[in-house]
A and B are shown apart, each in its own frame.
Chain A
Amino acid sequence: AQKVTQAQTEISVVEKEDVTLDCVYETRDTTYYLFWYKQPPSGELVFLIRRNSFDEQNEISGRYSWNFQKSTSSFNFTITASQVVDSAVYFCALSEGFTGNQFYFGTGTSLTVIP
């Protein structure tokens, strides 16, 4: 079973629109960490945010915001006023416990922002 599900394979929006990328995770651990990474066309994965299971506060960083809800096992990512430079593949990931040896990645959501 997938530990991290990103149901949206591809999304296209027009520049300046808001867009939300969904992430649903599955774990039995009480301590875990959630991440979002951005993969631009160059290929390198760029870290965006980390969240631990004890902190459900939503976070905002510029045009980016994240909504963490343990009740629905979701960690959604919203881009406000999207820009062409936001076009990329976005991955949600889960790490279980303090000594997690690997991440569980979702299959990614490809976002295209149309000018």
Chain B
Amino acid sequence: DGGITQSPKYLFRKEGQNVTLSCEQNLNHDAMYWYRQDPGQGLRLIYYSQIVNDFQKGDIAEGYSVSREKKESFPLTVTSAQKNPTAFYLCASSIPGAGDYGYTFGSGTRLTVV
């Protein structure tokens, strides 16, 4: 079945460490996105990529980095510069310019700083 796989489901990070969240899709979608979800704040866009080897900052990109070397993969690194990384992270994909098609979401990764 086609879909988006995020791993791991739960992730614990020590203060000062970088950590990478995985997002893989087999939907043949060109566009991929990372969102952060905090209680009561909805979803906020971190980074998005419309095509391989290209990506753009979203509303809250500081402290995060991404790469898009393959169409299927869009990993997100939470760096030590991110002051409050504890949150739920959602990856999504879509057809480019998919204002009308909507997104397909992964099941998320819950990151906790310990």
Q: Is the beta-carbon distance between A47 and B88 smaller than 8 angstroms?
A: no
Interface of A is mostly: loop
Selected contact of B56 from candidates A32, A42, A101, CB within 8 Å:
A101
Q: Is the beta-carbon distance between A33 and B99 smaller than 8 angstroms?
A: yes
Q: A44-B108, A98-B97 are in contact. Are A106 and B42 (CB under 8 A)?
A: yes
- B31-48 contacts to A, CB under 8 A, are 33, 35, 40-43, 45, 48
Q: Is the beta-carbon distance between A43 and B88 smaller than 8 angstroms?
A: yes
Residue of B whose beta carbon sits closest to that of A103: B103
Q: How large is the interface on B (under 10, 10 to 19, 20 to 34, 35 or more residues)?
A: 20 to 34
Residue of B whose beta carbon sits closest to that of A101: B48
Q: A33-B100, A91-B43, A95-B100 are in contact. Are A44 and B50 (CB under 8 A)?
A: no
Complex CA gap A47/B103 in Å reads 8
| A54 CB to nearest B CB, Å | 11
- Cβ-based interface call for A57 (8 A): no
- A15-38 contacts to B, CB under 8 A, are 31-33, 35, 37
Q: A9-B40, A45-B90, A101-B56 are in contact. Are A96 and B99 (CB under 8 A)?
A: yes
Q: How large is the interface on A (under 10, 10 to 19, 20 to 34, 35 or more residues)?
A: 20 to 34
Q: What 5 A-B pairs have minimum CB-CB distances, sorted nearest first?
A: A100-B99, A99-B97, A43-B108, A45-B105, A107-B42
Listed in ascending order, the chain B residues whose CB lies under 8 Å from chain A are 33, 35, 40-43, 45, 48, 50, 56, 58, 88, 90, 92, 96-108, 110
CB pairs A–B below 8 angstroms (30 shown): A31-B99, A32-B99, A42-B107, A43-B90, A44-B106, A45-B90, A45-B92, A45-B105, A46-B105, A50-B100, A91-B43, A95-B98, A95-B99, A95-B100, A95-B102, A97-B99, A98-B97, A98-B99, A98-B100, A99-B96, A99-B99, A100-B97, A100-B98, A100-B99, A102-B45, A102-B48, A103-B43, A103-B103, A105-B43, A107-B42
